[in-house]
A and B are shown apart, each in its own frame.
Chain A
């Protein structure tokens, strides 16, 4: 009912709003008058050697067979008076008019079918009219892959804000069309006096019946839905740092490993990265949903363990960790703020014994610190071969670091390594004087690292790890998720404007290479240009979460069940 209602309202409104120089009813009347005429490709036109400027940029992308229509907007100057776009797949053609190119679901399906029946591509030609002259931009193609994508994604929508968090929602979106619905929004249970934060949604192996998320502050607790059973658990115990934070489900059992974190944030006075989110402590805990027991996995106060991820075979927990021993007399928070660029995380794993529910000793599998780098968010592909992670210059919360890029490790060649002694490497070993003055932090850091590498102050990138250049941009790439068939990845990036995170999707060829990524399609192609919220933690789901927000709200109103501490 909700989707229907909003669809109806939006349909009523959108035609008006999507015209140039909206003039109200007059535009609507004109629309009605012109609706009957179908656009046609001009008979004479000039060919332009340049590709059209479109948003989102879908030029040369590969899309799954079941993806929603790729609606795009043609960016043109004010002298352009008319637009015609022709799609060609095999021997079939479709023509659409207007600067917003919005093939309907049915038409788009026909295009994809025709493409798959032919060479797998849809060719797009954009014709624009200025004065009496028509021009055709260089055509581009969209490749349709036979690999399907999980039909749903979930994400949190949040303004890239700092302290306040009203209108915070966990949403789900059908990738096969444009339907978006709410999983839970904080306003249903929060009010002026009682704010509520919601975060860290996660499902067990793409299963929408087995999901969890946290509610913080007012009515706080961890909400777990497991095969129709709804629970609200308080994961904080006397012997753990906090309630559960970043989760990872065991691929099949009712077990979840969480990090527990003591997190703070501070603000850059000049840097456009604006915020630094830091942990002053973090550990890992194991939660058994069947017994409602919490067991600490790591408790070392000098190691900040974070972002656990369970391998698809359930045999390992991958996570990142930073070793920090208190240096100064000031308190830990200030010390870390002062030295924030030296807070760097390595990639570790711990073997897991399913019989005893215990974890073995940690193994360092990537010494990023030796490269003056910091890694977060290890995510293993469903076939267990590839591990994708985010690497940046420092810190753990890479969504605010424009040096953050996606990297890929071939796990078949990954071996435990010995850590480089910290005395050998010092992040500040290079004098600032030798660096050219550049506005761009990324360039500056790259040059610095090249110089360090040349001086033997930095180890080179191991051969089984590569920077996924085809996915990365000069801005942030961060939170990523593999599709259940391993053929697609979705990741967060701030490449469009540097401030607002958008989900991008790319095809994986199975051999560690990716196609050009494309932005999550929207019904209104300019939606993301207007939208003032970021997408957090995009994760694939095999279907929609069917529990309604009101049901979650009713559960959250109740007291949380305290988890029991079990020490090993």
Chain B
């Protein structure tokens, strides 16, 4: 029930996150991919996890798989730990801890280097639980003496054979096997004494050693063996097999690193500790409920004591409640993050109006991130409304809600570069990210498209062929692959001539996507660098750029406007007017010209046909400014916003210190 509620909640609330998660994932059914992940201990866990992450292509399907796996874990734990009655519900503590691992992700989605990181904890825990199940099956089927030995052998096998495939999760499984509960069912031919016949001490040892009097000793042997295995196996593998893992990290292989740059973020490790805690709790409860009775151990408030008064249910509910609160607390919830994801998908869908709908959303008073502002500007530009509406939306430079500095290049910068015709820079950051964070469907898609636009057909095919091997991106790749047959489609002049002749070389959707980008690529090559600052780079290069293409030229004007650079503005304003003689001069351009004309007398604006509203607004702005004379700039920003927030005048005087990333 709890899992179902979680699943519904996850799909409802985090659909965008789930969709992006599968875009930022790549599973390939190739030997090379298998070999690549298996370079590191725990590669199989990543392999399975990346395979399953694909299913978030349909968020409900991926979520169902996730919840299904958690349900299996619960059921197996119930069986392994012999939990009955209300105590059974405690097995959900493990999935709750796994939930916490999942829902805390946030911007780690872009920065986590472990392939399949969203599913890896679940796969790892499932592996460990299956190891417990197999041990119990062995206990049940083998004679007592053989079972004792089988436990040691199985433990060694899990650690030695499991480590290359499951990394630290195999070490965890080894630890679980040490303290595993006794077999839930009698072994073949075993005599089961009545409860009253067993002395408490004997019961305790039973739980530790399969009913032998030397239980504590055997437990000690198991413990020592496990410790030796856990300590030695990773080191041996380091020496003999895994040549790409830092020695210090062999014990945490296949765990998400939670490190970025120079910093380590301990708070994100808490859910992983919670997994361990949940298992310990299950073990204790199993021990208490199966082997201790209040009548035999006086003074201890054992579960049996509480049974009569419904105390068990109360304890279980309290524990579950605490766990749910914990999950809710770590569940990443950030309006800007959600908006960025949603806007990103809307741009990929070519639905520019939807982008603006998200940008307009004023349900909270949180100021937008620069990325949101840039997405909004891009949408307005592509709709041809930037000159009229650019300042109708909230401005802001709220940093992304992550404890490290989020770089736009690693989040939405590639998409922005792609649409502004900076294909080499989009490609570059895809390559950089591919190297640093691993290859993803999203980066391959960008690389395929930028290669098409750069007319690099062979390498475009390479990326498309890789995407065709994926489970869900094949169709996408085939759609773009068809363009390889019409290379002229990526020659702007030929493509437009074909459109004019009524024989377009691409379908309508592709034309809508590619044609504006080709217009934006009408600039000469030069050597350059963005220093990871997407917005600054675009502003600088466009504002100082010069072109005769109408779309490109308008971008130079827009950037000059945002840069508030008067000297750069005028030539671009004039050129815009010349290139677009039949277009009514957009409002913000008029405002800038009117303002600059008054601020400096370098350009005679007296004969320019400004709209009455432009002049009136300016006059009102200046008058209001006089009225607000003693106010600080911050106070003015608040006071002016209702009347003038959507004007260039406001942007010029009162929007400052926008820090970009």
Chain A bound to chain B: yes
Interface residues in chain A, defined as those with a beta carbon under 8 Å from any beta carbon in chain B: 1-2, 5-6, 9-10, 13-14, 16-18, 22, 159-167, 169, 182, 185, 187-193, 266-272, 274, 276, 337-338, 340, 439, 496-500, 524, 527, 529-532, 548-550, 553
- Known A269-B425, A269-B523, A270-B524; contact A169-B529, beta-carbon cutoff 8 A: no
Report Cα–Cα, A188/B465, bound state, in Å: 32
**Partner of B527 from A22, A189, A340, A524 at Cβ < 8 Å:** A340
The residue from A10, A162, A548 contacting B428, defined by CB atoms under 8 A apart: A162
Give every chain A residue within 8 A of B529 (Cβ-Cβ): 266-267
Instruction: List 18 contacting pairs A-B, 8 Å CB cutoff, sorted by A.
Output: A1-B240, A22-B469, A162-B431, A164-B435, A165-B435, A166-B436, A187-B244, A188-B243, A189-B246, A190-B246, A191-B246, A192-B113, A268-B527, A272-B424, A274-B424, A340-B527, A530-B28, A532-B434
Q: Please, which residues of chain A bring their CB within 8 A of the CB of B455?
A: 272, 439
Shortest A216–chain B CB gap in Å is: 16
Residue in chain B with minimal CB distance to A475: B458
A272 touches B456 (CB 8 A): yes
Q: Is B244 in contact with A6, judged by CB distance below 8 angstroms?
A: no
Q: Pick the contact of B239: A18, A270, A550 (CB < 8 A).
A: A550
CB of B280 closer than 8 Å to a CB of A:
no
A187-B245 contact, Cβ under 8 Å, with A159-B431, A193-B262, A527-B32? yes
- A269, B528: Cβ atoms under 8 Å? yes
Contact with A along B239-267 (1 / 0, CB 8 A): 11101111111000000010111110000
Q: Which residues of B contact A189 (CB under 8 A)?
A: 246
In the assembled complex, B550 has its CB within 8 A of some CB on chain A? no
How distant is B247 from chain A, measured CB to nearest CB, in Å? 8
Please measure, in the bound complex, the distance between the C-alpha atom of A477 and the C-alpha atom of B211, giving whole angstroms.
73
User: Is A192 touching B260 in the complex (CB atoms < 8 A)?
Assistant: yes
A191 to B113, CA, bound (A): 11
A110 CB, min distance to chain B CBs, angstroms: 26
Bound-state Cα–Cα, A16 to B423, Å: 36
Task: Report the bound CA distance from A213 to B245 in whole Å.
Answer: 20
Q: Please determine whether A529 and B462 come into contact, CB atoms closer than 8 angstroms.
A: yes
Q: Does B154 contact A (CB under 8 A)?
A: no
Q: How far, in whole Å, are A277 and B466 apart by their CA atoms in the complex?
A: 29
Complex Cα gap A188–B527 (Å): 35
Query: Which residues in B have their C-beta under 8 angstroms from that of A549?
Result: 243
Verify if B140 is at the interface (C-beta below 8 Å from A): no
Q: Which residues of A contact B425 (CB under 8 A)?
A: 267, 269
**B332 part of interface (Cβ distance < 8 Å):** no
Please name all residues of chain A whose beta carbon is closer than 8 Å to the beta carbon of B31 when the two chains form the complex.
10, 13-14, 17-18, 524
B34 interface contact, C-beta 8 A: yes
Q: With A and B bound together, what is the CA distance between A454 and B241 in angstroms?
A: 62
**Is residue B358 within 8 Å, beta carbon to beta carbon, of the partner chain?**
no
| Bound-state Cα–Cα, A5 to B161, Å | 12
Bound together, the chains give a CA A160 to CA B462 distance in angstroms of 15
Given A188-B245, A192-B257, A498-B459, residue A9 in contact with residue B38 (CB < 8 A):
yes
Could you tell me the distance between the alpha carbons of A163 and B465 in the complex, rounded to whole angstroms?
Answer: 26
In the bound complex, what is the Cα–Cα distance between A433 and B144 (angstroms)?
Answer: 93
Q: Is the CB of B459 within 8 A of A185?
A: no
Give 1 or 0 for each of B103-115: 1 = CB within 8 Å of chain A CB.
Answer: 0000000000100
Chain B residues closer than 8 Å to A499, beta-carbon distance: 451, 456, 459, 462
Complex CA–CA separation, A266 to B435 (angstroms): 18
CB distance from B254 to the nearest CB of A (A): 14
Please name the 7 residue pairs, one residue from A and one from B, whose CB atoms are nearest each other, closest first: A270-B525, A14-B31, A266-B527, A497-B459, A497-B458, A549-B243, A192-B259
A531 touches B32 (CB 8 A): yes
Chain B interface residue number, banded: 35 or more
Q: How far is the CA of A163 from the CA of B459 in the complex (A)?
A: 21
Instruction: Give the CA-CA distance A266 to B428 in the complex, in Å.
Output: 11
Cross-chain contact A529 with B527 (CB below 8 angstroms) = no
Cβ B462 vs Cβ A497 within 8 A: yes
In the complex, which of the residues B434, B451, B526 contacts A269, with contact meaning CB atoms closer than 8 Å?
B526
Inter-subunit contact A166/B435 (CB<8 Å): yes
B434 to chain A, nearest CB (A): 6
Q: Is the beta-carbon distance between B241 and A187 smaller than 8 angstroms? A: no
Q: Tell me whether B439 is interfacial, beta carbon within 8 Å.
A: yes
B432 and A269 within 8 A (CB): no
Residues of A within 8 A of B451 (CB): 499
A164 to B469, CA, bound (A): 27
With contacts A439-B455, A497-B462, A530-B30 known, is A10 near B35, CB below 8 A? Answer: yes
B238 interface contact, C-beta 8 A = yes
Known contacts A164-B436, A338-B527, A532-B439, then 13 further A-B pairs from the complex at CB < 8 Å, ordered by chain A residue: A22-B29, A165-B435, A182-B243, A182-B244, A188-B245, A189-B246, A191-B249, A267-B424, A270-B423, A270-B424, A270-B524, A499-B459, A527-B32
B451-474 toward A: CB 8 Å interface, digit per residue (1/0)? Answer: 100111011011001100100000
Given A1-B241, A10-B34: A17 touches B29 (CB 8 Å cut-off) = yes
B432: chain A residues within 8 A (beta carbon)? 161-164
Contact A188 B246 (CB under 8 A): yes
Q: Is B59 in contact with chain A by the CB < 8 A criterion?
A: no
Cα(A521)–Cα(B455), bound, Å: 28
Once A10-B31, A10-B35, A269-B525 are accepted as A-B contacts, the answer to whether A550 and B243 lie under 8 Å apart by CB is: yes
Across the interface, name the chain A residue whose C-beta is closest to B240: A1
Closest to B462 in A: A497
Q: In the complex, what residue of chain A is closest to B257 when comparing beta carbons?
A: A192
> Is A161 a contact partner of B431 (Cβ separation < 8 A)?
yes
Q: Are B246 and A13 in contact (CB under 8 A)?
A: no
A271's partner among B469, B525, B530 (CB-CB below 8 A) is B525
> Does any Cβ of A come within 8 Å of B162's Cβ?
no
**Chain A residues with CB below 8 A from B525, complex form:** 268-271
Whole-angstrom CA separation of A165 from B435 in the bound complex: 6
Pair B38/A524 contact, Cβ less than 8 Å = no
User: Which single member of B29, B35, B461 contacts A9 (CB below 8 Å)?
Assistant: B35
| Residue B117, interface by CB 8 Å | no
B351 to chain A, nearest CB (A): 29
Given contacts A6-B38, A182-B243, contact A167 B424 (CB under 8 A): no
CB atoms of A268 and B245 under 8 A apart: no
Closest A-chain residue to B34, C-beta based?
A13
B422 CB-CB contact with A under 8 Å: yes
Considering the chains assembled together, what is the distance between the CA atoms of A439 and B457 in angstroms? 14
Residue B561 at the chain A interface, CB threshold 8 Å: no
Q: Scoring B residues 384 to 396 as 1 if CB is less than 8 Å from chain A, else 0, what string do you get?
A: 0000000000000
Closest to B239 in A: A550
| Chain B residue at smallest Cβ distance from A495 | B458
Chain B residue contacts of A182, Cβ below 8 A: 243-244
Is B164 interfacial (CB-CB < 8 Å)?
A: yes
Nearest chain-A residue to B458 (Cβ)?
A: A497
Identify which of B113, B238, B456 contacts A498 (C-beta below 8 A): B456
- The A-contacting residues of B in range 274-311, CB under 8 angstroms, are none
Contacts of B352 in A (CB 8 A): none
Contacts of A162 in B (CB 8 A): 428, 431-432
Chain A neighbourhood of B260, CB < 8 A? 192
Does A498 contact B458, Cβ atoms closer than 8 Å? yes
A362 to B469, CA, bound (A): 55
> Taking each of A1, A17, A22, A496, which has the highest tally of chain B beta carbons within 10 Å of its own beta carbon?
A17
A161 to B425, CA, bound (A): 12
B546 to chain A, nearest CB (A): 14
Chain B: which residue is nearest A531 at the CB level? B32
Q: Is B427 an interface residue (CB 8 A)?
A: yes
CA–CA, A521 and B461, complex, Å: 21
Residue of B nearest to A499 (CB): B459
B521 interface residue (CB < 8 Å to A): yes
Q: Chain A's nearest CB lies how many Å from the CB of B428?
A: 5
Chain B residues with Cβ below 8 Å from A190 are: 246
* Complex Cα gap A518–B435 (Å): 28
B32 and A524 contacting across the interface, CB-CB below 8 Å = yes
State whether A267 touches B246 (Cβ < 8 A).
Answer: no
- The answer to whether A5 touches B243, judged by C-beta atoms less than 8 angstroms apart, is no
> In whole angstroms, what is the CA distance A165 to B436 when docked?
7
Chain A residue with the shortest CB-CB distance to B436: A164
List chain A residues, Cβ under 8 A from B427.
274
In the assembled complex, which residues on chain B have CB atoms less than 8 Å from the CB atom of A191? 246, 248-249, 259
